[in-house]
Structure 1
Amino acid sequence: MSKIHNAFTVLMGIPTPVVAAPMAGASGGALAAQASAAGAFGFIGAGYLTSTGIQEELSIARAQLHLSETDTLPIGVGYLGWQLEKDPSSAIDLLNVALSNRVRAIWLAFGNNIGRWIEYVRSYDASSGRNHKTLIFLPISSVDAALTAIHDWKVDILVAQGSESGGHGYRVAPPLLTLVPAVLAVLPKEGPPLLAAGGLSTGGHIASLLTLGTSGVVLGTRFLMTKESFYNEVQKKMLVAANASSTVRTMSFDLARGTLDWPEGIDGRAIYNRTVKDIDDGVDVEIVRENWDKARQNGDADRILVWAGTGVELITEIQSTQDVVWELHADMMKYLSLVSALIAT
């Protein structure tokens, strides 16, 4: 396999500059392990998991990668900042599970006090008496947020998340092709590698972002449509059937399920259905929640939640995680070759 050699792939020790995003309720130990085994880098979405649940997924990953209890785990764990902030004492337990397992990275997003958790991770590494640095991934959607992450928090990897992204993100985030050049313009020469996220589905997308100046990409929806994803068959069929106009940014599903602690300015991109329509039409929230609960139990495609980015139309089949990574890598290399052929000597 040909390799991509840049700041991110060298730092991670991987040939493919692709990250499988941490997706709550979707990416577990199997998905993360198989992404990393294929040459990319995989995350577990800790989201709403307990410390026991996180440990179970880490054990699955360790077993699939055939690693001992003392080996570094070449995967990451992603946390929601606002979940950690709800109960700081419990948050320490949630973080310690990942840190004690020697994961390669922690992803922190959507909190009002992210710096606190970055400082905790750094302190844990410093006091543990081990030669191990846990890398910090941080998604940002503005130049100001990037500057804070670079200069105040000194994060290891920045992720520019555009408005095309599936799942949660900042409502006023610019499109990815606007955000990335703006962040690159303020990124110091020795600053952290910049990854791109938002509506990306193909190797051509990856090649285009690499030529724009990023060091890699983060894909979510593409990995929802894998055999290892926790999404059920109804959700996966909805993704396969979706087109470019199927998704919408909304807080309807958070209203329906009662997850309303997100920081100000956050909403999520998902497939539009009757749950969204009811909220838009002013249906009483209690009725929406009753219908949501029934739909979740019955697998009702007209109302259940399916997060998806704008690139969902370009994915038409369910594959194994490893096959997705290998396909992305091959397509990326093909398009990069086409770009290099444009240069006259």
Structure 2
Amino acid sequence: MAGVAGGHLAAEVHKAGGVGFIGGGHKPLESLEAEVAKARTSLGLSSDDDLPLGIGLILWRLEPPHLSGSAAQTEPDRWLRYVIHTARAASLWLAFSGSGDLQGWVERARRVEKEGERRERLKVVVMVQRAEVAKEALGWDGVDAIVLQGTESGGHGPSHSHGAPLSSLAATLSTHVPNPTSPPFVLGAGGLSSPTSISAALAPGILAGVVPGTALCVAHEATLPHAQKELLVRASGAESVRGMSWDEARGTLGWPEGVDGRAIRNRTSEEERGVAGTEEGRERYKRAVAEGDVERVVTWAGTGVGDVKRIAPAQEIVRELMSEVVDSP
């Protein structure tokens, strides 16, 4: 949800009873600061109030080789200090470590947390794409929730060769989650864009909650351009495909092994392999961005995009998505 989940969207999800997250790490820290300010305004908070929202970080952008050795020593802590002590976010979402050291990032966050004072303990969420990593994460100190990301999920996630559908991941993990109502909670992501799909995902009793993405991309408060929201409303699930052509065209390569992107099929994804990443391909993509050409610019979307029927306020979308979920007695 980087580039889509800004401060206004996260605030509205919170107002609807969900846990709103602001996407960060893909742009300079100043951009994240601006989105946090928007969230505070939306929630009527002062700069001294705790932020009852989460902030997510794309970790490979804060690691070598994306950062130089010296910058990689200082930048991660600068970002963590901002999230934990300046923004005072309730939660921190860690995803896509290029080094694969998610546990190290959890330990680093907890160390930075101890550098200052907080009214509430930071909740740490890690997103994983493989059941083996999820099993390990269940035993890590300092983890409050684990997001299982299936191959159905939109945006960046596990390739077909590296990952598995959400239902398969959850089933593999079932015997390792004796009590889904106790932390660390296991959440599911991938293809969950309707009340029925969410109810079905929660039915086996393994997942404590779900993480809708594509369904919220069409919220009024999402930062996605209107033309792309309209495209999502028109699209079918069959038009959601995985690949790296969009990243090649945008020059955003550097994702961990086994990670690619899922979006609506378009001219960029249909080009012959390697063409999108050429100088000509990148120039063509830049022009498309400037012109708002949705036939070439990437519009991230999961397999549940066919269930996305209209552009609506975020609070309305969240309440509709949870309408079939019945609380356990």
TM-score (normalizing by structure 1): 0.86
What is the aligned partner in structure 1 of residue 95 from structure 2? 109
What is the aligned partner in structure 2 of residue 270 from structure 1? 263
TM-score (normalizing by structure 2): 0.90
What is the aligned partner in structure 2 of residue 228 from structure 1? 221
The DSSP-based 3-state class of the residue aligned with 1:323 is helix
Is 1:245 paired with 2:238? Answer: yes
What is the aligned partner in structure 1 of residue 170 from structure 2? 180
Within 5 Å, give how 1:1-345 maps onto structure 2.
23-85=1-63, 86=67, 87-88=71-72, 89-100=74-85, 101-111=87-97, 112=99, 113-171=101-159, 172-189=162-179, 191-213=183-205, 214-280=207-273, 282=275, 285-333=278-326
Q: Is the 8 A contact 1:25 1:47 kept in 2?
A: no
Q: Is the 8 A contact 1:150 1:192 kept in 2?
A: yes
Segment of structure 1 superposing worse, 205-214 or 316-325: 205-214
In the TM superposition, residue 154 of structure 1 has moved relative to its aligned partner by: 4.3
In the TM superposition, residue 124 of structure 1 has moved relative to its aligned partner by: 2.2
The DSSP-based 3-state class of the residue aligned with 1:168 is strand
Distance 1:284 1:209 in 2: 37
Segment of structure 1 superposing worse, 293-302 or 66-75: 66-75
1:122-171 deviations in Å (ceiling 9; x for gaps): 11222313342111111112221012212235411011111100011121
The DSSP-based 3-state class of the residue aligned with 2:49 is coil
Structure 1 counterpart of 2:294, one-letter code: A
In the TM superposition, residue 31 of structure 1 has moved relative to its aligned partner by: 0.2
Distance 1:62 1:283 in 2: 40
Q: Is the 8 A contact 1:202 1:328 kept in 2?
A: yes
Q: Extract unaligned runs of 5+ from structure 1.
A: 1-22, 341-345
The DSSP-based 3-state class of the residue aligned with 1:152 is coil
**Pair 115,284 (structure 1): closer, same or farther in 2 beyond 3 Å:** closer
1:208-240 deviations in Å (ceiling 9; x for gaps): 222211111001100101111111012111111
**Pair 151,39 (structure 1): closer, same or farther in 2 beyond 3 Å:** same
**Pair 81,284 (structure 1): closer, same or farther in 2 beyond 3 Å:** closer
Distance 1:331 1:27 in 2: 24
The DSSP-based 3-state class of the residue aligned with 2:211 is strand
- Identity, in percent, stands at 38
1:152-198 deviations in Å (ceiling 9; x for gaps): 35411011111100011121211111111111222354551111110
Distance 1:94 1:164 in 2: 30
Distance 1:44 1:177 in 2: 26
In the TM superposition, residue 284 of structure 1 has moved relative to its aligned partner by: 6.5
Distance 2:274 2:55 in 1: 38
In the TM superposition, residue 280 of structure 1 has moved relative to its aligned partner by: 3.3
Segment of structure 1 superposing worse, 82-91 or 36-45: 82-91
Q: Extract unaligned runs of 5+ from structure 2.
A: none
The DSSP-based 3-state class of the residue aligned with 1:219 is coil
RMSD: 1.9
Distance 2:249 2:239 in 1: 19
Structure 1 counterpart of 2:88, one-letter code: R
Distance 2:190 2:277 in 1: 32
Q: Is the 8 A contact 2:155 2:262 kept in 1?
A: yes
Distance 1:263 1:281 in 2: 19
Distance 1:210 1:127 in 2: 38
Higher helix share: 1
